[in-house]
Structure formats: C-alpha cells, structure tokens
Amino acid sequence: MKKSIVMTLLVVSTAIALTACGKKEKEAEVAPVEVEIEPISEEANEEEVVEEETTDVLPEGMVYSELTGLPIDQAIEKQKPIAAMVDNESTALPHFGLNSADIIYEMVNSTANDRVTRLMVIYKDWGNIEQLGSIRSIRPTNIWVAGEYNAVVCHDGGPFYIDTYLGHDYAQHFSGIFSRVNNGKAREFTEYICKGDLEKAFKNSSYSTEYDEYYEGPHFTFSTPSKQVELTGDEATNIDLSEPFKHNKSNLKYNSDTQEYEYYEYGKPHEDGKTGEILSFKNVILQKADIFQLDKNGYMAYDNFFGDKGKGEGLYITNGKAMKIKWTKATENGITYYTDESGEQITLNAGMTYIALVPSDYWDGVKLN
C-alpha cells in the first residue's frame, strides 16, 4: 500500500440566486438508461487515511455535517434534509442550485427515451436555497432512498405506482406546491423551489423540520478536513457512464487542481444557471442494481433493492483512484451501507458525493480510465 501525505479540504458552496417565484404546478415525464466496467485490480480495495500533523479545529458554533463531513452551522445540526427531484432532460437545463447540495443521486427514471435519468438532490441547509430545480415527478425508488435520510421528498406528482409507498409512515413529501419561474419554457419545466417555499410548506404540514423517529443515524463515515482517504487501486480520472446513461451521456472528469470530479452531460460541463460554476464532487459511488419495468409506458423501479435481495457490488472513487465495494439495504427505508470487500464500512473524504444507481444490465458498460 502506497503512502502519501495529504492535507486538503475543500468545500464547494454556491450561492444561488433566482428570478421570479410564483405558483405551483404539474409535471411531465422523462426516461432512463445503462453500464461496462474495466476490471479493477485487487489492490483497488485498499484505502489509507493519512493524517496531517495539524488538528482540525471547528469554528465556534459549527459542527460536522453527517452528510458531507464538512463544517455546518450548529443551528441546523438536527434539521432533516429534503430530497428534491430535479428534471435531467436537456430542455430543463441549466439547473439552478445543485452545487450547494450535499449528495446527488442519478438514476434511471424510465425505460423509454434511452433510459433518461433524473437527479435526486439531498439538501440539508434548505433554508438558504434561493432557487433549486427544475422540479419534476418521482418513482418508487426515490421514496425508498429518501427514506434512508429521513428526508422530505420534494416533487411534482408521479404515476399511481408511488401511492402505496407514499402511504407508509416514514414517507414525507411536498408535491406541486413550489414556485413558478417565467423562463420561457413549457410549463413542466418552470417549477422551482424558491426562497421561502419550504418554510411555508413545513408550516402548513404536520412534519417536523428536525429528524424524527424514522431517522436511523448517519449513512457515512468521513475523514476530517485535515485528512484524506487515498485509495491504492486503479486509475479513475475519467468515469464514463455514457453507456448506462445513454440519453444524457453522463461523464465525470477528475480535476487534479481541485481534487474533485466535474460532472458532464450532453457533451458539456454541467454549469449552474446563475453562477456558471461547474457541478463537482469529492466522492463518487457507483452502485450496481437491477431494474424492472412496471408497464409499457416505461415506468420502472429498481428491483431487489432491499430485504433479502438488497445487496450488490459497486465502486468507490475519490482522488483519481477506484476501489471495489459492496452494498446492503435491509429494509425499504433502511440505510444503504457501503463496505469494502472484507465487510468494513468505507470511509469517504469530506465533501459532496455523487451516487449513480447503475442498471445491472449495463454495468459492464461503465468505463474507468
């Protein structure tokens, strides 16, 4: 195992501004995608956390976030996050506000349209949102994953397949109540979470803004800002997901200067509609999972996602290297745990995380180099 001395920490935070905010509305549909993985050597499963001589000192009134491992205001320590459904069709671009999120999931949304993907944005400090979106509908898998974080799903409707899951006690959601922004696009592309929307939504609901009895605790173990996890596996400076996610051709490219992965889709970098900042991540997790089609219209969900069959393989990628991992999810809203091949929970670098649910039938289409 190679040794390397590290320091660093980062944090990407973006201020997002917005335009006009208005009423609520309906939704529109989209479609899903596929993956090829080049073998990773056995060495790839080793990770090393290298400590600096310095000790991390948290500023007064700050705590480490359970979602990023980065300092946040102590006032929101117990605040539950939201899980916002963001349209990923090219017409919906540019997106607003994603750079200030904590975790972003990308997953197939339909078996139609070359398996178009949708983004699910986990966002803890939602009181500082200026404009986030645009907002679209959900699928059953989104409810299961949001439940892992005790997050309130923010969406605009969805097919009737979601009704059973939204009826479960753990499932909390706000639908079709957000602002309308006049952006010159069709109505289904104009709904955004704007400043004050969520405060009003919580006030008019029975939901607590703080973690409740369905919260199972933190998902991840993080290094601290003066430490770095350094993997000793294969090179992973380019993560090509254009096979599994054919519609938008997702790709993550490592920037050695920032030590983050920059997100590309539709052949260009993903830039915030207000700031122009490129969406980037410290950690990348690729999770192999089956999907099944619910009807001829392309509605689908991820299959064998929890319970006895809720387990599989994947990859953890950070700082230009990759390692093989395993994942398990015991219950519908239970936490997905990521471990190395020996069964030890992996440690993530502090920062923002991208998680792709890669359909098993396209797993071999994931390319790392």
Percent of the chain exceeding pLDDT 70 equals 83
pLDDT value for 328 = 94
pLDDT value for 186 = 94
pLDDT value for 62 = 95
pLDDT digits (tens, 9 = 90+) for 283-330: 999 999 987 777 677 665 777 677 888 899 999 999 999 999 999 999
Q: Is residue 28 very low, low, confident or very high in pLDDT (cuts 50, 70, 90)?
A: very low
Q: Assess whether pLDDT exceeds 60 at residue 7.
A: no
pLDDT value for 43 = 46
CA-CA distances (angstroms) from residue 204 to 85, 143, 331?
Answer: 21, 21, 30
Spell out the domains of the chain, with CATH numbers in brackets.
Answer: 42-368 (3.50.90.10)
pLDDT value for 48 = 55
Q: Is residue 150 very low, low, confident or very high in pLDDT (cuts 50, 70, 90)?
A: very high
pLDDT digits (tens, 9 = 90+) for 185-234: 999 999 999 999 999 999 999 999 999 999 999 999 999 877 899 998 88
How many Å apart are CA 70 and CA 225, to the nearest integer?
7
Task: Average the pLDDT over each of 8-22, 110-124, 281-295 and give the range with the smallest value.
Answer: 8-22
Annotate 270-309 with DSSP letters as a single string.
Answer: -B-TTT-PBPEESEEEEEEEEEEE-STT--EEEES-SGGG
Q: Is residue 130 very low, low, confident or very high in pLDDT (cuts 50, 70, 90)?
A: very high
pLDDT value for 214 = 96
- Averaged pLDDT score across all residues of the chain: 85
pLDDT digits (tens, 9 = 90+) for 35-92: 444 554 444 455 555 544 456 788 899 999 999 999 999 999 999 999 999 999 999 9
pLDDT value for 160 = 75
As a whole number of Å, the end-to-end CA separation of the chain is: 20
CB-based contacts of 295, cutoff 8 Å, min separation 6: none
Which has more confidence, 178 or 300? 178
CB-based contacts of 61, cutoff 8 Å, min separation 6: 73, 74, 75
How many Å apart are CA 326 and CA 294, to the nearest integer?
27
pLDDT value for 163 = 86
Q: Is residue 99 very low, low, confident or very high in pLDDT (cuts 50, 70, 90)?
A: very high
Q: Assess whether pLDDT exceeds 50 at residue 23.
A: no
